[in-house]
Structure 1
Amino acid sequence: MSGDVTFPATVGQLSVWRDIEKMPPERRWEANLVFVWDLPAGDWAEEQVWDALGALGMRHGSLRTTFDVDAAGFPRQRIAVDTAAEVRDRVRQGTAAVAEREAMESAQLQRAIDATCELPWRAWILTGDGAPVQVLLVINHMAADGVAVLVMREDFEQLLRGAELPPARGPLEMAIDQQGEEGSGRLRTAERYWRRTLAAAPRLATGARQGSPLGATLHTGIPMPHAHEGAAKHDVTLASLVLTAYYRALREVTAENAQLLFPMSSNRFDEQHAGVVTSLNQWTPLVLDLDPAEPFDAIVPKVHWKTFQALKNGVCSPDAILAIRAEQERQDPPVDPGYYYNPILAPPGFPSEDTMVRPSLEWYEPARSTGPGFYVIARGLTSLDLVVRVNRSGWDRDTLDRALTSIQSTLAEALSAHPL
């Protein structure tokens, strides 16, 4: 399927593309994601690692895809290479000592990937005592989201151990489905949901939208098995439990009961999509306006099911959504810009820490300047962290500190952990 054949982008790819278009050229590296994978136990030669990465590219078509832009400004997918050896050679960036990891992560993240002419990912082997111990991966968001990278990691480990994995379903097949009658119907339903939800959302208070950039990471100290077990006791997902704590903190700090949130939909709710490596992430609006007198145990299931209903509308046309949002922002007063939430949480059973430690709060200066004005990433592989980036009026270090303290306090109560 390489050569001159192109296919439409999926709505997920188009959503990322529209975000990239808004970035100044010097900031387009912000479309990159960076990950480090520990190699599984074993005595691995460098060529084994490179060959497994090449095979990974052959399994997932998005890792071999570049994009042409048509006359109307729409990206079209093109399978750029046909062999594992060519994938391997094009993504192979070299070898470095594991001690250089931190500096390399920062430097390589900020090298933009031009998805119109480059394969959308790059890889390095990191060595310890002369042997490969880790893989450093930089990937453009057009090719994968956080959940897709977890899929890639699992497949890579199997390939490294010698498994033979057939080509997986990819974004080419998804794009064709989305052009059909059923796919078009889902897109129209999502548009109606967006219009209805934003019309009922809180309005923006007087004052500027932007504030001074802030960044913080809340290390909750809660190991992932403990977090999943605690969420199961509430009969909800961990993502819903953390979102409930987030909502309570916003309500407490802003003194406003109704909040417009934008949870990220992974759009991986069935077997057909669960293992697809591409960017499926899209924001979904959700208005929460729950009784402040109700205890946490009572509102958790309500947040969970309201979120579940919202995420049914996670596949949507980004161009249609931009038009709907622009319409609401022209209102007087305009719709509130909202608070964003992206759970990237390893599922139960993923290898993890099992020891509870005391929480800590780490402040940092955000490197990224584009994207949502208030963004919380719930990140959990071995333990649960919340990475927060804020650039919104009314929020300074003190108010953000109070919000994160509230979140930790809620999680500590719900999961029998330590308060901050």
Structure 2
Amino acid sequence: MTERIPIGFTGARGGECRLSWGQIAIWRAIQRLVPDDASLNMSWVTALEDEGISVDTPLSRITDTVAYAMARHESLRTRVRLDEAGEARQVLARDGVIELELVDAERDGAAAAARQLQRRLTEPPFDYPNEWPLRVGAVRVGDVVTHAVFAICHLVTDRGGLTALVRDVLAGLAGRPTVDPPDRQPYDQALHQQSDAGRRQSEKALRYWQRHLRAVPRSRFGEPDGEPRFVSATLSSPAGDQAVSLLADRERVSTSAVILAAAAVQLARQTGTREAVLQVIVSNRFRPGLADSVGPASQDGLCVIEVGDDELGPVIGRAMRASMQAYLHAQYDPVALDALVAQLGDVDLSCSFNDRRFDMQTPVSAAPGVSADGLRDALPRTTLTWEPVDHYGARYFLHVNAVPGVLDLTLFADTSVFDPAKVEEHLRGIESLLVTEALGALAVTA
């Protein structure tokens, strides 16, 4: 049996203003994926007893937690509407009512019921102007809630802010709601960005973009062969993970910089250029007030890496320095950047790099026991899997996935300009560059 439970909430304020720059970035990503924009939705299930959160949990604990989260985090009660000029604006509600979908189940079927509820809440796209960007549900066995289910629209936050939101929700479910004030709300962020200080920050970043956009090729892949056709390929390499760890330790840089360098070298070789230009996804959470902000803070940074005729080794340090510059200049007005790009002509910004791991900026120690024989023995365990993709918003988008003990890379590509053979060549080339450089490093120290 399914029942809908209304939950009232009241926050500190309401209002309407422009989107923050981070919200604009997410809004544009959503628009590029329509009608497949539900793929950006995020969700999780909390098994209250199995995870040690609480026992004999009454329904009131769930409804109180939802009301608390809605009041605490303004992005959960923010909807997006278009004004008369077609500009997207955020509308923050001070109060309202959200419904919880309650499912009754037997004890041995509760976990399966929670998974089904998660799919049901996550799969439909959100109605951005009319629906709260949060969907909630619960599974009840008798008088006790066993599972709480949450699905959120990507406009609520990015993956960096999701950690803070989940932490606060779990604290509420455990009966110990967080009392410390939250970090900067998206509404405050948007107002700051419209101020004189915000405009100065944007102008500084855009001067960096203007200097480096000249390095962006007008077309790096050539003319499309027909309509865009997309594919997703994932390379999973235990050997690559060992190699990345060893090289990060040798160069005293992040593992992200090592992977970025290998991608840059391989991309430059396959496109016949001496520089690799990629947009990197920057969380911006190193900035004051944004570490635990439950709101979108990520924007694209422009990363220009000199490759030349070098092998991987010398490029790693350049990739680290180039990525740091990209991170420092990744808060800007996207509309102003559009105008700048339009002035410069048809530059190709279709290549992006996104490290999805939360520890990507942390220098690491070499994996214990890495040896030449171990690297070679691990190579046969590499796998490459393929999935068709109906639509994607970039010609080349390389993701680094959080898979322990494995270098896990997913490349989304438009096969009308970067065909499947080149996609496989690219992913295997990255692995080869990393393993070859690591084997060379081990030979030197032997």
- TM-score when scaled to structure 2? 0.76
Distance 2:296 2:337 in 1: 17
The match for 2:393 is 371
The match for 1:241 is 258
> Contact conserved, 2:14 with 2:94, CA < 8 A, in 1?
no
Q: Deviations over 1:168-214 (max 9, x none)?
A: 12112212221222111011122222233222212215412864311
Paired residues, what number?
Answer: 400
The match for 1:300 is 316
Larger Rg: 2
User: Per-residue deviation at 1:254?
Assistant: 3.1
Distance 1:203 1:392 in 2: 19
Q: Deviations over 1:141-166 (max 9, x none)?
A: 22111212223233333333333313
- Gapped runs of 5+ residues in structure 2? 1-10, 371-377, 440-446
What value does the CA root-mean-square deviation take over the aligned residues?
A: 3.8
Q: What are the within-5 Å matches in structure 2 for residues 5-404 of structure 1? A: 5-21=15-31, 24=34, 26-34=35-43, 40-42=51-53, 44=55, 45=57, 47=59, 48=61, 51-80=64-93, 82=95, 86=97, 89-90=98-99, 92=101, 94=103, 98-99=111-112, 108-125=121-138, 137-166=150-179, 167-169=181-183, 170-205=185-220, 206-208=222-224, 211-221=228-238, 231-294=248-311, 296-328=312-344, 331=345, 334-347=346-359, 358-367=381-390, 369-380=391-402, 382=404, 384-404=407-427
Q: Do the aligned partners of residues 8 and 408 (structure 1) sit closer, same or farther apart at CA in structure 2, a change above 3 Å counting?
A: same
User: Per-residue deviation at 1:36?
Assistant: 5.7
Q: One-letter code of the match for 1:341?
A: F
Distance 1:399 1:389 in 2: 12
Q: Do the aligned partners of residues 173 and 246 (structure 1) sit closer, same or farther apart at CA in structure 2, a change above 3 Å counting?
A: same
Distance 1:286 1:377 in 2: 15
Partner SS, residue 428 of structure 2: helix
Q: Deviations over 1:219-277 (max 9, x none)?
A: 23489999668635432222222211211221333343322201011111134211111
Percentage identity across aligned positions? 22
Distance 1:174 1:139 in 2: 20
Partner SS, residue 427 of structure 2: helix
User: Per-residue deviation at 1:80?
Assistant: 2.6
> Contact conserved, 2:265 with 2:307, CA < 8 A, in 1?
no
User: Per-residue deviation at 1:73?
Assistant: 2.9
Q: Deviations over 1:277-301 (max 9, x none)?
A: 111121122222223324x332212
The match for 2:3 is none
- Gapped runs of 5+ residues in structure 1? none
Farther off after superposition, 227-236 or 189-198: 227-236
Q: Do the aligned partners of residues 298 and 157 (structure 1) sit closer, same or farther apart at CA in structure 2, a change above 3 Å counting?
A: farther
User: Per-residue deviation at 1:388?
Assistant: 2.0
User: Per-residue deviation at 1:46?
Assistant: 7.0
Partner SS, residue 273 of structure 1: coil
Q: Deviations over 1:92-139 (max 9, x none)?
A: 5757854478877666544111221211122445799x9978765432
Partner SS, residue 305 of structure 1: helix
Distance 1:362 1:136 in 2: 30
The match for 2:429 is 406
Q: One-letter code of the match for 1:306?
A: A
> Contact conserved, 2:354 with 2:399, CA < 8 A, in 1?
yes
Partner SS, residue 345 of structure 1: coil
Partner SS, residue 365 of structure 1: strand
Q: Do the aligned partners of residues 273 and 4 (structure 1) sit closer, same or farther apart at CA in structure 2, a change above 3 Å counting?
A: closer
User: Per-residue deviation at 1:377?
Assistant: 1.6
